[in-house]
Structure formats: structure tokens, C-alpha cells
A = this chain, B = another copy of it.
């Protein structure tokens, strides 16, 4: 029998899964919707049903299961008050999964899972200290310090998306104002683009697009075409990210910062201003030391891979 672990990445809309062997090969990737199951038990029945079919067909020996989930808590195995999921309050995810698979199960934050993926199979191999940033609809992050994920006292450490970039700034879905995620994410740059259009008088091809039709790729394309306002939107996005990365660097002094997904695929458009402003806001002793890099797993399912890596790590302890 072939030894495998299961990696699961629960998102607000879709949940992705895959089987991970020890050397990091990811197979049988698939997904099911997360937002069509009001009851998590029905969701887990369908998800685990699919996984069991694969296990039976491939004759896998599954020795562990890792999950990355919004507000997933490593210490308790629970999802706690995740604003983007249908399942409210505290969900004993590890407990519910044990009903389907009686094997070691670990739950963590989705961005922490991505950080573990980068550490074990990506650009973070051999590094003791780095920060992982995942840029999607929101901004996720995980901190590696002394070769380990920082979970902190309550299991929720490594949070950058909901630190304050602008006090009393933009309204965030979390209830606070001015969170970094409201500036640096696919939805953040849309808001910035609209603000630029409102405050400036320069022409822009995006003046013809409604807010709901606009997406980050269109802003990126406009910027590549030399659209000044789109370029300004990227500069401002990089400024906000650079400002808050400077804090994270001062706190934990990483060797590198990896950017993954969505906005990070805009390449120089986002990397150049982020680096410029990060260095500007850094104490001189930290300047020109930290590498700002694209994730080495850019086209892979990093959180599924990371969730798998996490449980492999645990099993080998």
C-alpha cells in the first residue's frame, strides 16, 4: 500500500483537496463547493465520501490529514468565528473529521498552511525565518521563526491582513477600519483604483468599468498599457504593503518575504513599489537585507500542499 496524507484547504467558496506523498508530490487534486452546505456535517459527508472513493481506488494507506481553514486553530483543531464561512461560531473540525478518518488530524490557518508548504517544498527550504503572504480576495500571512510556524499563545498568530494600515481608514468586513487587507488584496486594489479615478482628473481606460465589473487583472492590464491611474493604484498598494511589511520585518527580522497568488502575479508592478516603500519605512539596520520573492509554488495548490506537509511533519516527530 502507498502511504499518503490528505491535504485540505477550506475556502469561503470552494474547498480544495489532494493527496500528498512524503516528497511533496500532490495527486488527485479536486474541489467541492463550501458555500452550498448550511450544515457542515453534510459538507464533510460529501468531502470525505470523495476522498474515500480515491483511497479505495488507489489502495492508499492514509496516515494523516491536514487542514488549512480560515481562523483554523492549531491548538484546538477548531475553526473559530470565521467571517467568510457559512458555519458560524466555533466548529470542532478535527473532532468531526475524526468521525470519518480515525488518523492524526491537524487544523491550522490557511495562510499558515501555505507557509509550511513554502518551508518544506518551496523557496523557504533551508530558511529559519521568513514571512509568507498570500494575496487573494483577502490577505493571509504566516510567520516562520526559528524554523517553526508562530502560533502564539492562542493559536492565531501570524496575522497581517487585519493589522491597521490606516487608523480609522477603509471599512473592513471584519468590523474594523483601515485593515491592511482593505488596501492590499484583489478587492483592496479595486477600491484604490476607484479612489484614484474619483480624486484625479487624468483619463483612464477604467473610467468605463463599473465597480462590480472591475477586477485586479484589468487594473494590471491597464497598468501594463501605461495607464497612469492604474500605475498609481499599484504604487499605493505597494506603499501600504511595504509600510506594514516594515513592521513585520522589525518584529521578526526574516531572511525573506514570499508573496503568493493573485496580485503577486502582477510581478514588478507590485514587487517594485512594495520593496521601495518597505526599505523607506525600515530602520537603517534592517535595510537591503530582506529578500522580497515570489513564492516558488506560485502555480501549485500551496495550502493543500502545506496542509499535507504539516501533517507529515507531525507524523515524523
A156 touching B285 in the complex, CB below 8 Å, given contacts A150-B145, A253-B151: yes
Residues of the B chain whose Cβ atoms lie less than 8 Å from the Cβ of A252: 143, 150, 152, 157, 251-252
Residue with the highest number of chain B CB atoms closer than 10 Å, among A164, A251, A255: A251
Does A167 touch B at the CB level, under 8 Å?
Answer: yes
Q: Are B128 and A163 in contact (CB under 8 A)?
A: no
**A153 in complex: contacting residue of B129, B154, B160, B162, CB < 8 Å:** B129
Copies of this chain present in the complex amount to 2
Q: What's the interface size class on A, roughly?
A: 35 or more
Chain B positions within 8 Å of A153 at CB level:
128-129, 253-255, 289-290
Q: Does A243 sit within 8 A of B, measured CB to CB?
A: yes
Question: Which residues of A111-164 are within 8 A (CB) of B?
Answer: 128-129, 143, 145-146, 148, 150-160, 162-164
A283 at the interface (CB under 8 A from B): yes
B246 engages A164 (CB within 8 Å): yes
A9 within 8 Å of B by Cβ? Answer: no
A174 vs B287: C-alpha distance when bound (angstroms): 13
Given A146-B146, A153-B289, A243-B167, A284-B253 contact (CB < 8 Å): no
- Residues of chain B with a CB closer than 8 A to A48's CB: none
12 examples of A-B residue contacts, CB within 8 angstroms:
A129-B153, A145-B146, A150-B253, A156-B286, A157-B252, A164-B246, A164-B247, A167-B243, A176-B281, A176-B283, A244-B247, A248-B251
Whether, in the assembled complex, A99 has its beta carbon less than 8 Å from a beta carbon of chain B, the answer is no
State A40–B33 Cα separation when bound (angstroms): 67
Interface residues of A in 165-215 (CB under 8 A from B): 167, 174-176, 179
Chain B residue with the shortest CB-CB distance to A240: B167
Within 8 A of B (CB), among A74-104: 80-81
Which residues, 231 to 256 on A, are CB-close (under 8 Å) to B? Answer: 243-244, 246-248, 250-255
Determine how close the nearest CB of chain B comes to the CB of A41; give it in whole angstroms. Answer: 24
CA distance A251 to B81 in the complex (A): 19
In the complex, what residues of B have CB within 8 A of residue A150's CB?
145-146, 251-253
- Chain B residues, CB < 8 A from A283: 159, 162, 174, 176, 179
Q: Which of B151, B243, B250, B286 contacts A160 (CB 8 A)?
A: B250
Contact at A157–B253, with CB atoms within 8 Å? Answer: yes
Are A254 and B164 neighbours in the complex by a CB distance under 8 Å?
no
In the bound complex, residues from chain B placing their C-beta under 8 Å from that of A143 are 251-252
| Extra contacts besides A152-B253, A152-B254, A247-B251 (5): CB < 8 Å | A71-B285, A81-B284, A143-B251, A146-B150, A151-B253
Of all chain B residues, the one with the shortest Cβ separation from A164 is B281
Q: A157-B251, A250-B163 are in contact. Are A174 and B284 (CB under 8 A)?
A: yes
- Please give the distance in Å from A108's CB to the nearest CB on chain B: 13
- Measured CA separation A176–B247 after assembly (Å): 13
